[in-house]
Structure 1
Amino acid sequence: MLPSGSRMRRGEEFADAVRKGGRAGRPTLVAHLRVPPEPGETDDPPLVGFVVSRAVGGAVVRNRVKRRLRHLMRERLDRLPRGSLLVVRANPPAASARSERLAAELDVALDRLLRRRESPETRMDGRR
């Protein structure tokens, strides 16, 4: 399970990540990442929140999707910069997606978001 100190709970944090952060969409999920202006100056852990609407399914299905996403994010938490806010919104196909597909799409979304915030000079792969 995701550590308690890394779980987003306040509505303002969700709104800040969605409105001011970058966005990367995939068929099963959409990720919004807000990185503080000076990420190296904060000791706050990254916070992660999940949005699973009724369009995904009934209460049992929504809770299952949230549990699966929390489990996947626990393994990827160290990739996020300190003090960042990440909101993962599940789309309706997430209800029937296998865990491997959810993991792959979460990785792609995170890679895109983290790559966007790198400047061209600091990229390791040499691309611009």
Structure 2
Amino acid sequence: MLAKPNRLTRGSDYKATVRRGSRCAGTHTVTYVGRTGDQAVARFGFIVSRQVGSAVTRNTIRRRLKAVCAEALPSVRGGASIVIRALPSAATADFADLRADVIRCLERKAAA
């Protein structure tokens, strides 16, 4: 689970990261990585829309993405602002596929 300082909580932070950050598309996710100079820790946010599936499915996907990001947190540079958007295909993907998508994009865009 991600600690409170490692989470994006404001809509303006999400919007700024998606609009100004660099984008990395995977099979099941799209990852946006922005840079904020004022934060010492990396912060993550997740977008899982209704197109992905029912509330149970969306929450399952969100929990899986949070687990992957918590695992990858030590390798992400400080001050990074990261938003991960789940695509509808994420509903049928297993954990290993989601993990591979996210880790690949984090290594390319947000590695320390």
Cα pair 2:5 2:41 within 8 Å, conserved: yes
Cα pair 2:80 2:110 within 8 Å, conserved: no
Partner of 1:31: 31
Rounded Cα–Cα distance in structure 2 between residues aligned with 1:66 and 1:3 = 15
Partner of 1:70: 66
Question: Residues 32 and 43 (structure 1 numbering): CA distance in 2 closer, same or farther, change over 3 Å?
Answer: closer
Name the count of aligned residue pairs.
Answer: 112
Rounded Cα–Cα distance in structure 2 between residues aligned with 1:50 and 1:93 = 16
Pairing of 1:26-65 with structure 2 (within 5 A): 26-36=26-36, 39=37, 42=38, 44-65=40-61
Cα pair 2:26 2:101 within 8 Å, conserved: yes
Instruction: Tell which structure's C-alpha radius of gyration is larger.
Output: 1
How large is the Cα RMSD of the aligned pairs? 1.6
Show structure 2 runs of 5+ residues with no match. Answer: none
Percent identity, aligned pairs only? Answer: 34
**Deviations along 1:26-75, whole A, 9 cap, x unmatched?**
11000000013xx5xx4531110000000100111000100010011001
Task: Please state whether the residue corresponding to 2:102 is helix, strand or coil.
Answer: helix
Cα pair 2:34 2:82 within 8 Å, conserved: yes
Rounded Cα–Cα distance in structure 1 between residues aligned with 2:110 and 2:85 = 17
**Deviations along 1:74-109, whole A, 9 cap, x unmatched?**
011122221210000000111111111111111111
Runs of 4+ in structure 1 over 4 Å off: none
Q: 1:89 aligns with which of 85, 88, 100?
A: 85
Cα pair 1:35 1:81 within 8 Å, conserved: no
Rounded Cα–Cα distance in structure 2 between residues aligned with 1:57 and 1:74 = 24
Cα pair 1:17 1:86 within 8 Å, conserved: yes
Show structure 1 runs of 5+ residues with no match. Answer: 119-128
